[in-house]
Chain A
């Protein structure tokens, strides 16, 4: 490598070639063969948002049912299915995938690379997630939805007390979404560690990318636990194993341990990207780098570690030995500290920054107001005696909605508004943005704050009705009224986005004067992201760039070539070629559906699906003739080098 000084040439020709190299293919098959990270990321986001709307409708139905005591709007059968679907949808089909979608979309852009590390795997992850969700909803419409709650405790979810195929569907949906989550996690880890642009050493990685790395590692170690837990549940239900059958030596608590070993980290998996959004937005809107970058990163890592040591606080009421439980109290309390430090760092950043206000920042303010309440009620739940009282009551319902809506949904909506100009090239309507924010903030608090009181006043969660005279009626009416505001807020936001997408003001490359690399690209970004891989010379890539900040040359434009850099210092190491479009991810996800859906009804489908998947995998890995030719020529050193993009007019060695 050499650093050269050249006159800035005109890159129109190169851009045209790149456009052709990375372009999507036309037609349905082209659409199904797509492997571009921006496309796939947007598909994740849109699909997850649609599932969010479905989950929201389910929530609305539950609020109608609970409007008055002994209501007959929904029976226990329908209500149980709906609350199970609501929880499962929001956790597995909305919260995690939408964060992954943002990661898939933004991480390569923030790192200055062309695509994620394994584009085909990425597409496969999306389809498997989509099919898992569609399967669950198909069964829901066929009246075969699970109805044992989103954590499907055995023995209620076991073969005897949940007859039918509902819980099998649930368990299989878990498998699908977990595979998808794991796939994205692997990609993001490898992309971040190997594909950062030159100069982006570990201490210059944007905080959002850090949050996605931490989340990815959590996924890698947490999600296998739930796959095993739900896999055991499937085996118990389908082939008669006794893993959870106490009378044959199994143990129902085993399920709870494994589920919460995943389930608690899951909460962090959902809101740590939210913390990343907050950091991104605050950096842009305070005009300075986040105070305490090192502290921010290390607290994220500490949160991830502690997140794995607190799962038993979901099981305080099961009567485990007291001493052991006290350890988990301590761990659960201590996990407040890293998040607290992050909050103090943000306050310090705002304090010393030039704080501007726009809708994304409003959502960050909402995050502070709401999430801290959730964190503090979390402190209460960490205490064993208090947990004994409020566990499994509406207090807990209020708590985790404050944590998840405050910690994930508010930052997420902020992120929608923040990156909307980048996706569409146009600005959203600020007025409507503010309206939807206030509707959400008010509606949310009206809905969920009374639930704290309801829980303390003895209302257990997951009851399909309650009795008159329990003094819960008025607060439930209030909660249902708040839900209307929340629905209006989401509706306003959708209308805002749909209208602004076509009619909004043209945004330009960097409307917020934000700092990360994606803002150096036009909006929306070209299909290949960066014509030349950029270099960075500071944490805030855009702000710290010199006027003549170097870019990388010497890479081909007519191949999907990416630059691999070293893990620690991001020095250029070698180049690799990414695969192009491929129908095989879609085919493989179909064959996996045959195996895994079929297995619910008849065990041999599993084998059939496995064989078909094996064939699909061979197709997946079989290199095309052109790729082979390329490789052979390259190894012989006979592949013609394109002179395009090489420094053109005057070359002079840099001092």
Chain B
């Protein structure tokens, strides 16, 4: 009797694209975190609908300059992320390294501006009122993600300086780029509700 077999010896080992396990794991994690951000947004909208005075009349109109610069900078940082993503396909290390350094710089600068300039100028704290609580929760959640994205990029950058860059690392670069898009884009709606909404006509007034 003969036995049929399916020979897969010719298949490649590992890929650096959307077919790999890590890529899918990354997407699933983004789905989870996206849901968490959606819940935070839902919290904001829910409390907005149950409060007559929203944002509370004690909340000052925030200074728009630095937050806007910060947000635009964060959005623009998607470009180096995109370059990392593309260059990883061809394993072109120079643009990858430059853009990684750029991403780290943007990440650190964003966090610095957030905590040295924007947050102190808010004029309320998490314990001031529910509005303050939800805004601080959102900022805190996003900061954690920003720290994670910057830290991950920094680690990969340092690693790639000293150790050989293999296919699996190229995959890591690409997944980090996708994560970076997520962290940058998810900030946009929050920028609007935290910094723009107090400038619009207050609910109830």
Contact = CB atoms under 8 A, between A and B. Distances in A.
Direct contact of A and B (CB under 8 A): yes
Contacts of B28: 185-186, 189-190, 220
Contact of A573 (B11, B29, B32): B11
B5 A551 contact: yes
Contacts of B128: 242, 248
B108 interface: no
A1 B8 contact: yes
Interface residues of A, number: 79
Contacts of B56: 249
A64 interface: no
Interface string B18-59: 011100110011011101100110110011001101101000
Interface string A572-585: 11111100000000
A251 B36 contact: no
A242 B32 contact: no
B72 interface: no
Given A572-B11, A631-B167, A632-B166, A553 B25 contact: no
A241 interface: yes
A178 B155 CA distance: 28
B130 A249 contact: yes
Given A3-B7, A553-B8, A554-B10, A249 B36 contact: no
Given A224-B32, A554-B9, A6 B166 contact: no
A5 B134 CA distance: 65
A71 interface: no
A555 B11 CA distance: 9
B180 interface: no
Given A8-B1, A548-B2, A614 B43 contact: no
A311 interface: no
A225 interface: yes
Contact of A242 (B33, B53, B127): B127
A2 interface: yes
A223 B15 CA distance: 31
Contact of B15 (A195, A228, A574, A628): A574
Contacts of A524: none
Interface in B74-132: 126-132
Given A5-B3, A8-B1, A251-B46, A634 B13 contact: yes
B60 interface: no
Given A574-B14, A631-B166, A6 B2 contact: yes
A257 B5 contact: no
A220 B24 contact: no
A431 interface: no
Interface in B138-171: 151, 155, 163-164, 166-168
A4 B133 CA distance: 66
Interface string A250-280: 1101100110000000000000000000000
Interface string A204-216: 0000000000000
Contacts of B134: 243
Nearest to A222: B35
Contact of A550 (B6, B11, B29, B127): B6
Contact of A552 (B5, B47, B163, B167): B5
Contacts of B47: 243, 249-251, 254
Interface residues of B, number: 56
Contacts of A550: 3-6
Nearest to B5: A553
| Among B12, B35, B168, residue most surrounded by chain A Cβ atoms (within 10 Å) | B35
B188 interface: no
A162 interface: no
B20 A576 contact: yes
Contact of B127 (A185, A241, A635): A241
A321 interface: no
Nearest to A178: B32
B7 A2 contact: yes
A185 B134 CA distance: 28
A228 B43 contact: yes
Contact of A118 (B25, B35, B39): B25
B7 A4 contact: yes
A182 interface: yes
Interface in A558-582: 561, 563-564, 566, 572-577
B127 A240 contact: yes
A337 interface: no
Given A241-B126, A628-B163, A194 B24 contact: yes
Contacts of B69: none
Contact of A575 (B2, B4, B8): B8
A249 B39 CA distance: 18
B186 interface: no
Given A186-B25, A221-B35, A574-B14, A242 B129 contact: yes
A121 B21 CA distance: 13
B133 A235 contact: yes
Contacts of B168: 623, 631
A117 B164 contact: no
B35 A225 contact: yes
A193 interface: yes
B195 interface: no
A566 B29 CA distance: 21
Given A242-B130, A576-B21, A186 B29 contact: yes
A138 interface: no
B137 interface: yes
A522 interface: no
A220 B136 CA distance: 25
Given A224-B32, A228-B39, A564-B20, A553 B9 contact: yes
Contacts of A535: 6
B148 to A, nearest CB: 9
B180 to A, nearest CB: 18
Given A564-B20, A647-B7, A248 B12 contact: no
Contact of B21 (A117, A185, A553): A117
Contact of A548 (B1, B35, B51): B1
A577 B137 CA distance: 39
Nearest to B13: A575
A563 B166 contact: no
| Among B5, B24, B29, B56, residue most surrounded by chain A Cβ atoms (within 10 Å) | B5
A227 interface: yes
Nearest to B9: A554
Contact of B25 (A8, A190, A635, A641): A190
| Among A185, A572, A574, A646, residue most surrounded by chain B Cβ atoms (within 10 Å) | A574
Given A242-B133, A554-B8, A189 B126 contact: no
16 contacts: A3-B7, A5-B3, A5-B4, A118-B25, A185-B28, A186-B29, A186-B32, A190-B25, A190-B28, A224-B32, A249-B47, A258-B39, A550-B4, A552-B5, A572-B8, A623-B168
Nearest 5 CB-CB pairings of A with B: A554-B9, A249-B130, A241-B133, A250-B130, A550-B4
Given A250-B47, A548-B2, 13 more contacts: A4-B4, A186-B29, A189-B28, A190-B28, A245-B130, A249-B130, A251-B130, A548-B1, A548-B3, A553-B9, A628-B164, A628-B166, A634-B13
